[in-house]
Structure 1
Amino acid sequence: MVKDIATARNDFPLLATTMNQAPITYLDNAATTQKPQPVIDRLIKYYQTENVNVQRGVYALAQATTTKYEQVRQQVADFLNAQPTEIVFTRGTTTSLNWVAQSFAPTVIQPDDEILITIMEHHSNLVPWQIVAQKLGARLRYVELDDAGHLDLKQLQASLTSRTKIVALTHVSNVLGTINPIKQITTWAHRVGAYVVVDGAQAVGHLPVDVQDLDCDFYAFSGHKVYGPTGIGVLYGKAALLAQMPPVEYGGEMINLVTRQTTDFKPAPAKFEAGTMPIAQVIGLGAALDYLTSLGWSQIMTQEQHLLQLAGSQLQAIPGVTLYGPALTTAHSAVLSFNLAGVHPHDLATVLDSQGVAIRAGHHCAQPLMTALQVSATARASFAFYNNDQDVERLITAVKMAKEFFQA
């Protein structure tokens, strides 16, 4: 049964609270999403009645919890249209991307090879590739933005050569809201023998992701950005590629046999999941995906596009406001980065905070992009399906108040 998105807001306890004596208007969803009551309840149930370690005990409760843990792996696989053997649980998107850089990259990159990334990358999908390039003697190249705020696809195509071994890029920009054409880019990259690594942190909670259709080689996302707990992430990797990767961490439960001098590791995904995993968070992630599924993508995407258009058009109508990124179309996720002339983004965010409006201000872990945009920072309002027209109204009212206060 599909849940009505009009009443979904009631499932999120934090949204009924206040901030600075005002009803909270939470517009920092690109940083983390709020958790619905079913996810909170599921975490409590685990700690109250299922709190044992997995993959170890032979007693009934341990086996039952292990089954539930592995059921979430199957659930994530179904969510991405993958196989459960291709799903590795990690601590988050950052960990997932670092593992690919540290473990997979050295198996395919030689000195003078090239790694291609974009100027819009979050530092989590930029710094690891800087380090890899330095260690392996490879060259790190960037794809810039075109005049419309999209990725420059002509430059990207021209940059792909026989020396390109990895293309790493975000599915959705956490600053610009740009939705990149991953399927097309993957096709181009594979023609020259390159592997494609996708940062899906800003995509998975907002649009359907089919890794088979995208044909990417790796895809990463975080549970806390899809209405689940913090501390849990997912790395999808094609089975053949995971098989050739050595583990990044070492410890219990990821081995078949250990002797005094040698270790035989289990196959993926087990060989990457050393030690006690974030069991409660995995189970909470399963509850979050259940919740998203109950809403359906049509409702989610329709509501978020409505909010994007409403907020974007009203911000653009305020004199002195500059929006960054592509035009507000369906190729734009529900993220709005903007500045108010003469007002530092941190000052703007402080005024909004006084009115109960929570936005992000800063460089958004994307400093090279800020340099390309010729700004030091921006304000960012990011929406989720549980936001509503009143949230937009409060945002616009607060921005106008800030403009009057600073006489911008």
Structure 2
Amino acid sequence: MSKHEEILSYIEGLEIGKQVSVRGIANRMKVADGTAYRAIKEAETLGLVAVNDRSGTVRVAVKGQKVANRLTFGKLAEVANADVLGGLAGLEVEFSKFVISAMQRESFKRYLSPNGLVIVGDRKEIQNLALREQNAVLVTGGFDVDQEVVDYANQLGIPLLRTSYDTFTVANRISHALANELIKKDVITVGDVFHQKRATLREEDTVKDFLDLVKKTNDSRFAVVNPYNVVVGVIAMRDVTNKKNDTPLNKVMTRANVARASMTVASVSQKMIYEGYDMMPVVYENYSYAGIITKSELLQSLQKAQEESQVAHTFSDNIANCLVEKGSAYTLTVEPFMINSVGTIANGVFAELISQVVQRVFTKRRRRNIIIESLNMHMMGAAAIDNVLEIYPKVIGETRIGAMVDCEIYHVNNIVAKVLVNVQLT
């Protein structure tokens, strides 16, 4: 193995978020700076490392490589639009919580915990205390920071940040970032559930090769790839019925619709149900083959996500929390966050409201998952803040795979809207 390959192998083995430098690689691998530089540039081309304006070159997850969502001090610096004054080595450390320094030194110390963030103004003693207790420091208001504090942060490898924003604005931005990160962690992607490196066939293979692979694996559907490992089709048992054993697969295969590992399970499941697919190949961003995903696994993961979800602050959840079941109807009081610029309930809120009602209707009928195909809304009145709306859903048609629901919305016996919803049942 050449030195160049050894360096690439070393970089690939680094922990996600680890800093990479020419001098560090050169010293560790006993090579010239030029050799280290060329290897790092190739690693960047391969997607093993990325250049960050604030933290330099760091090891990153390649496409398809699973890595948990993390809110690091480097991301916090971007959220707060902060300059990094010191402690560059700690930017990829995961952030735990933040605290605002608005008390005396003695009282403040008990609120500190490792990997926390202290938001503080021009208070040198608090800055030093926070660093000593393994907390990053964010100085608000754009105040100058004593060089002694900067040197101390560099010595410990703990980030020292400075922003021109005031404390209130910074705290709001960080709270918003934390909420978004929690939502992202709750969203299941194809990369979380797909089968990696399942058996494939080449487009020049024959029907006999397909039948042999069916016997070997007990699977009945396979992705077909070209010599560059790019998915070009899907082959299933129905495609080879009454075909000769020497027939090339590229003559009988079905054109493949593919899913990327970064796509959400919800969007892919909707496509699979609508198109009638039982299996889809999963590809990396360059369309090379990664694995497969099946419809049954997607639906199971959706059901599990609904049961285990801990997020309760999305727009949909806020609407759902306002809905109250009342016999066969539902009621909702219009709140300020639901209105538009002219003071009436927004159309988007109406759409989400109906979606929630229809979902509850079919949950009661033991149909756990639905996908809304169309929603036709006819507005016949207006609803303002504090108005109490009554929603009356009625299933007017249902088949094995779909249903139609009529919803009428009233306020004090006056009809406000009438909505017709078509859904797919899963």
TM-score normalised according to structure 2 size: 0.24
Structure number with higher helix proportion? 1
**Could you say which structure has the larger radius of gyration?**
2
**Structure with higher RCO (Cα < 8 A, 6+ apart):** 1
TM-score normalised according to structure 1 size: 0.24
Structure number with higher strand proportion? 2
